[in-house]
Amino acid sequence: MSAPSSTRSRSRTGAEIAESVAVHTALLLAVAFALYPVLWVVTLALTSGGLGGQAGSAILPFPTSPSLDNFRIVLGGGGGGSRAWLFWQQVGNSLVVSLATAFVAVAIATPAAYAIARFRFIGSRAGMRTLLATQMFPAVASAVPLYLLLDALHLLDSRAGLVFVYASTAVPFAIFQLRGAFVTIPIDIEEAAMVDGATRTQAFVRVVLPAARPAIAVTALFAFMSAWNEFILAATLLSRETAFTLPVVLQRYVGEHDAAWGPFAAGAIVVSVPVMALFYIAQRQLISGLTAGGVKG
């Protein structure tokens, strides 16, 4: 708490104290609400052989005899022995597909968004609206046509096919996000660069791109995450176990008749850790306004 508010706290009135209590109670409830399922997942993951009897009906779940068995099962590819390499191949699938999606999204969206933000041309508004419209349809709606398309292209069960599909939604979204970023970058700095001796392209590469770096990082992160977490299309388009991405792998633990909640929860943790790490790393970029100070501000 900052200095002014701490000095003010000495002379707090009863109403202010009541307000503070109410606010903190509400926040604590919200935190509990958000963390409760996470607590369940952690408990499940650390409890070997599934939750029996009393643990399963506990209001506040807690791993009574913590064990890493579930993690061993997941990392062993669900069967152990010869399947041990499988899980890592699936991790590889997820990584490659997500990174490629992020790369394609940024590579296509950056110049597209810049053009839309800076130049007036016929169709720029209509194009923007069309891009927005593509975001209105749920991915499932296009699952069947996409399946047929990929089948015709012999890209079912392949990483490339999945990247292709993911990019089709990631690119419009990225264009939308980046356009917003480019609009906020003052055109003055590009003009200054051009007067200084830069070509239009040099001004873009050496001045605009660095200034847009935080926005580009965030956009890439979003594309990566949406691909990393995507389940429905992956489940539809992938049928070979070796081609699976992690969400599909996870879902396999919870079958129609037999639900292995322990490995499922352990897998969920394994899958979320990289995303959390990425968020942590990107935090600074998310917050920092790199353009601050370039113009009068």
Q: Is 202 in the site for other proteins (CB under 8 A)?
A: yes
Q: Is 108 in the site for other proteins (CB under 8 A)?
A: no
Report 211-240 residues binding other proteins (CB under 8 A). Answer: 211, 213
Q: Is 118 in the site for other proteins (CB under 8 A)?
A: no
Report 83-102 residues binding other proteins (CB under 8 A). Answer: none
Q: Is 295 in the site for other proteins (CB under 8 A)?
A: yes
Q: Is 199 in the site for other proteins (CB under 8 A)?
A: yes
Q: Is 16 in the site for other proteins (CB under 8 A)?
A: no
Classify residue 77 by its DSSP letter: T
CA quadruple 23, 24, 27, 33: dihedral sign: negative
Q: Is 196 in the site for other proteins (CB under 8 A)?
A: yes
Of 135 and 199, which has the nearer Cβ to other proteins? 199
Q: What is the DSSP secondary-structure string of 11-76?
A: T--HHHHHHHHHHHHHHHHHHHHHHHHHHHHHHHHHBTT---HHHHT-SS---SSB-SHHHHHHHT
- Per CB under 8 A, the list member of 120, 129, 257, 296 interacting with other proteins is 296
Q: Is 195 in the site for other proteins (CB under 8 A)?
A: yes
List, in order, residues 6 or more apart from 89 with CB less than 8 Å away: 242
Q: What is the DSSP secondary-structure string of 124-172?
A: HHHHHHHHHHHTTS-GGGGHHHHHHHHHHTT-TTSHHHHHHHHHHHHHH
Of 115 and 194, which has the nearer Cβ to other proteins? 194
Q: Compute how many residues bind other proteins; rule: CB under 8 A.
A: 26
Of 215 and 265, which has the nearer Cβ to other proteins? 215
List, in order, residues 6 or more apart from 42 with CB less than 8 Å away: 63, 265, 269
Report 174-193 residues binding other proteins (CB under 8 A). Answer: 186, 188-189, 191-193
Q: Is 19 in the site for other proteins (CB under 8 A)?
A: no
Instruction: Tell the burial category of 113 from Cβ atoms under 10 Å away from its Cβ (0-12, 13-18, 19+).
Output: buried
Minimum Å gap between C-beta 116 and other proteins is 21
Whether residue 42 contacts residue 264, with contact meaning beta carbons closer than 8 Å, is answered with: no
Q: Is 123 in the site for other proteins (CB under 8 A)?
A: no
Minimum Å gap between C-beta 284 and other proteins is 14
Whether residue 294 contacts residue 186, with contact meaning beta carbons closer than 8 Å, is answered with: yes
- Per CB under 8 A, the list member of 55, 143, 198, 278 interacting with other proteins is 198
Q: Is 210 in the site for other proteins (CB under 8 A)?
A: yes
Q: What is the DSSP secondary-structure string of 218-287?
A: HHHHHHHHHHHH--HHHHHH--SGGG--HHHHHHTTB-SS-B-HHHHHHHHHHHHHHHHHHHHHHHHHHH
Of 276 and 295, which has the nearer Cβ to other proteins? 295
Per-position x/- string for 253-292, each x denoting binding to other proteins as judged by CB under 8 A, each - no binding: -------------------------------------xxx
**Closest C-alpha among 268, 245, 249 to residue 161:** 245
Minimum Å gap between C-beta 209 and other proteins is 9
Whether residue 109 contacts residue 174, with contact meaning beta carbons closer than 8 Å, is answered with: yes
Which residues of this protein are in contact with other proteins, per CB under 8 A? 186, 188-189, 191-199, 202, 206-207, 210-211, 213, 290-297
